[in-house]
Amino acid sequence: MDNKKTFGMFILQRRRDLGLTQKEFASRLFVTESAVSKWERGLSYPDITLLQNICSVLEVSEHELLSGSEDTRQRDSYRLAERYVKLCRNTRLSQYIIYGGILLICALVNLSTAGRLDWFFILLPCVLLCASLTLVPSLCALSGRWEPYRRLLSLGGFSLSLELLLLASCLYAGGNWFGWAGTAVLFALSLVCLPFLLRSSLLPEKYRRRKLSLYLAAETLLLLLLLLVCSFYTGGAWFPITACALLFGLGLVFLPVFLRQLPLPRNLSSRKFSIYAGIETGLLLLLLLVSCLYSGGSWFFLAAVSVVFGLGLVLLPPVLRQLRLPPPWGQNLALLYLSVESLLLLLTVILGTAAGGRAQAVDYLANFLVSLIPLALLWGVMLCLRYLPVNRPLRCSAACGFTALWLWTWPILMDAALSPIYGWHEEINNYSLATPFVSAVPWSGWFWYAGLILVFAAAALALLFLGLSRRFKSK
């Protein structure tokens, strides 16, 4: 009963505030005066179909009518919203007047002073530049359809207006610098503005997790475009070598980001390091090729093989572990690694000998033998440690013994390899296996060398004793 009375008192109070009689109120609702009287006395509720018409006549919301009280917060919110809409409308109107007035006045002044429009076309992009930052966002906010594109349209309008300003200034000054200036400004703007555009919700779902890759790719392309335009303006042919150097340098830092965010197949996702090493090696070789062509030299093959050899020393082991090799090769990675590096070293020696000028067959043979001497140490140690069918201490003993033997014999092997080219000189090539430490070199140098040989020999004997004792114990 109390709710009906509260409801009736609210209708009565609102009707009186609006200056309506029961008869006028009933006529607007197409009901009888007695019905209105029953509502106001709290004897009955109106039909639910009449609620919307009652709210319209009494100028209240449905929430206020059903609660029987005025919602001052909601009324204040509506009032503030109306004020905001009115303020935005007045602001846009004032901007129309200001920008239009500036353009009209400047056009009349330009026509009256010069008889034609010339510097007016410099002022026009300036006005558009200001309008893109002030007028475009308010217009997008007014239209719900363009609201999601407000940031894109505003920054796009700003960039286009700035490019038009540069073009108008270039034409007015009679210059030809717009190409590189416009590209440089576009690159600088994208550095700052592109992250804000990529943060918007306009990107498809599959690209939202790759925003950093998109940003880096766009900036790289714009930087390459800027270099290309500058090379055209300077009349130089330095763009290919600069572009290759730029791609190689940026790839060293940012290529892991691309590979991490790129949706690679399952069989490649576990080989990202191999892909990274392969791409960077290819870019480095391309840089060497372009540099060789740019300088007019013929050193590319030697430099390429040397670079591949040097990189392979460090990068080839992890790459071989990630490659899916057949069982015979997959079980002998050390042998495969050493074989590839040995071939690259021998090829480097051959190409280096050929690059020296008038090389004869004896030069090729001598350099080939000289390169085989250190390879013999690596191969001997690897074969002892990997393929001897004995226990681990005996393998290490064989490796240390082979190293001591190599240290004992390598000077005379070097003498034999180099004597066909430089001749045999007793005062220099006086090394012998029987008396290895009799030399013109001071005793202190041979002392350390002999000490090194004795250390490996002692280690070989100690490991041999340990390996034999373990073998006898196992039996």
Per the domain annotation, does 24 fall within a domain? Answer: yes
Burial class of residue 59 (count of CB atoms within 10 Å of its CB; 0-12, 13-18, 19+): exposed
Token reading at 105: 């006045």
- Condensed to tens digits (0 to 9), the pLDDT of residues 368-409 reads 888 888 899 999 999 999 888 888 999 999 999 999 999 888
120 domain-assigned: no
Helix, strand counts (H, E) of the chain: 20, 0
Whether 410 is in a domain gets the answer yes
Domain-ending residue, one of 50, 70, 90: 70
Which residue pairs, CB below 8 angstroms and at least 24 apart, start in 330-334? 334/382, 334/386
Tell me whether residue 417 is in a domain: yes
Note whether residue 196 is domain-resident. Answer: no
For residue 475, the 8-state DSSP code is -
Taking the model in full, what pTM does it have? Answer: 0.72
Alpha-carbon dihedral angle through residues 405, 410, 412, 413, given to the nearest 10 degrees:
110
> What is the percentage of the chain residues whose pLDDT exceeds 70?
86
Tell me the per-residue pLDDT of 66-100, one tens digit each, with 9 for 90 and over: 666 555 566 566 667 677 778 778 888 888 899 89
Residue finishing a domain among 70, 104, 124: 70
Domain end (from 26, 42, 70): 70
What is the total residue count of the chain?
475
Residue 241 resides in a domain: no
Name the percent of the chain lying above pLDDT 90.
Answer: 34
| Range from 89-98, 234-243, 388-397, 435-444 carrying the lowest mean pLDDT | 435-444
The rounded distance, in Å, linking the Cα atoms of 136 and 449 is 82
Q: Give me 18's structure tokens.
A: 């609006």
* Among 411, 445, 446, CA closest to 428: 411
CB 277 within 8 A of CB 327: no
Number of domains forming the structure of the chain: 2
Average pLDDT of the residues of the chain: 83
Instruction: Residue 18: give its domain's CATH number.
Output: 1.10.260.40
Q: Which residue range(s) make up the domain with 446? A: 390-475
219 residue type, one letter:
E
Q: What is the pLDDT of residue 288?
A: 94
Q: How many Cβ atoms sit within 10 Å of the Cβ of residue 201? A: 7
Task: Examine residue 14 and state whether it is found in any structural domain, yes or no.
Answer: yes
Sign of CA dihedral 406, 409, 411, 413: negative
* Higher-scoring residue by pLDDT: 10, 93: 93
| 3-class state of residue 383 by DSSP | helix
CB atoms within 10 A of CB 205: 7
Q: Give domain status of residue 448, yes or no.
A: yes
